[in-house]
Chains A and B, each alone.
Chain A
Amino acid sequence: MITLTVNGRKKKFAGAPFTRLIDALREEFRLTGTKEGCGEGECGACTVLLDGEPVNSCLIPACSADGRRIETVESLGTPEKLSRLQESFLVCGGAQCGICTPGMLMSAHSHLKAGGKTDDESVRTALAGNLCRCTGYQDIVKSVIGAAKKGAKRK
């Protein structure tokens, strides 16, 4: 039996051990915020955090994540109370069709949480593994920098 800590809660996964993490999250745990784009590690739509680091959940079989900590987009905020980063995406127009958004949010969240630099180039490097086919990159980067500035102000 595989045990995963998903968004702070210990969960047992009884499916086939080679089930991809994205499928375990979406189909078994009904956490459908995580999206599948390319299914080959190019687009980053399926990005979740594994022990705090961004990874492509389409490239990880559940057996390799056994005993580890996973955070999905559902861990950030709720529709009633968005996280600062989510709020900033809303305000800055960082989400268009929405497919890349959960992955963008998780990569950006991990970058900011780790104390990553918030200049344009550093944010772009942190998001380099996430593709937006609406090509809304300018506003996505603006959203991340905006959230970081707001965070700094509140401190």
Chain B
Amino acid sequence: MRGDPRSMTVLSPRSAAEAVRSLAENAGALPLAGGTDLMVVWNLGLLNGKVVVDLSRVGEWKKISVAKNAVRIGSLVTHSEIQRHAVIRARFPLLVQACSVVGAAQIQNRGTLGGNIANASPAGDTFPPLAVYEAVVHCVGPDGKRVLPIDMFFAGVKKTNLKPGELIEAIELPVPATAPSRAAFRKVGTRAAQSISKTMFAGLLWLKKDGTVADARLSFGSLAPTVKRLRSAERLLAGRRLDAATAAAAAAVLTDDVSPIDDIRSTRDYRLEVSRNLLVQFLEGRKR
């Protein structure tokens, strides 16, 4: 069966407050942002008869605001708008790179950052960058506002820790105190565009003057039900000099934090092999 538009009830709030009220008053209603995930499921006829809260008129959540120590990206900001924003390009280049490989132009023009994280795919392209930038998610619901660090936001495959009736207002990225010495994002998929990743890496590295690691933030997507920080490898790297042995040691503890599976896109073995290579490449400072 296909989606039947006549079976749907659409609510069109004109403000954030109205959106929260609409969702609170209609248990089980579906928030609609860019629609690039929701409409795929709807087209298959799986959401007929539902109430949809169309967020397309909630102007407050379409803004990007820049403060000295942080950039706040409204939940309804699109992947294209993020790529065009000069400050985000300068301060959070890994997020910009991730947004540029989401689907292709048509999806980037519609898909929103809030929608991307709310959908909570294990393969969400923006998640590894959000993890290493230590983003926080601003939520609002009938009981008021709440802030969730990105690593507390995801609960599992397609599951978040949003409470019923809660919506995402914005994603805030704190600007690192010092600029990282090294930063990289890599997505490995079947083709460059439109593909869902087999593995995805984001890394930030701060080196001391003597060449030892001051701090490392490493993250993989598509290797576990949710995006993961490599806490074990990060701890191991702190204070060490970056050489081939250190890189290999960090790669050896990858599975402390991730647990890839065999599925339609790839296998556990392939994912691990490629992911270890991406990590070693990054730590050894080699270009692709």
Contacts and interface: CB of A to CB of B under 8 A. Distances in A.
A72 interface: no
B80 interface: yes
B5 A18 contact: yes
B206 to A, nearest CB: 32
A128 B194 contact: yes
Interface in B1-19: 3, 5-6, 8, 10, 12
Contacts of B258: none
Contact of B39 (A20, A54, A128): A20
Contact of A63 (B3, B10, B110): B10
B106 interface: yes
Contact of B8 (A16, A42, A50, A129): A16
A74 interface: no
Interface string A1-30: 000000000000001111110010000000
Given A16-B6, A16-B8, A63 B56 contact: yes
Contacts of A18: 3, 5, 8, 10, 42, 52
Interface string B9-39: 0101000000000000000000010011001
Contact of A129 (B3, B5, B52, B105): B105
Main secondary structure of the interface of B (DSSP, over half): mixed
Given A54-B109, A61-B54, A128 B193 contact: yes
Nearest to A19: B5
Contact of B105 (A42, A64, A128): A128
- Size category of the A interface is 20 to 34
Contacts of B194: 42, 128-129
B40 interface: yes
Contacts of B5: 15-20, 23, 61
A56 interface: yes
B105 A126 contact: yes
Contacts of B70: none
Contact of B54 (A23, A56, A64, A129): A64
Contacts of A107: 105-106
B274 interface: no
A63 to B, nearest CB: 5
Given A16-B8, A40-B40, A129-B194, A50 B109 contact: yes
A55 B106 contact: yes
A58 B106 CA distance: 11
Interface string B90-127: 00000000000001111101100000000000000000
Given A16-B5, A41-B40, A63 B12 contact: yes
Interface of A: 15-20, 23, 39-42, 44, 47, 50, 53-56, 58-61, 63-64, 66, 107, 110, 125-126, 128-130
| 5 residue pairs, one from A and one from B, having the closest CB atoms | A129-B104, A128-B193, A16-B5, A18-B8, A18-B5
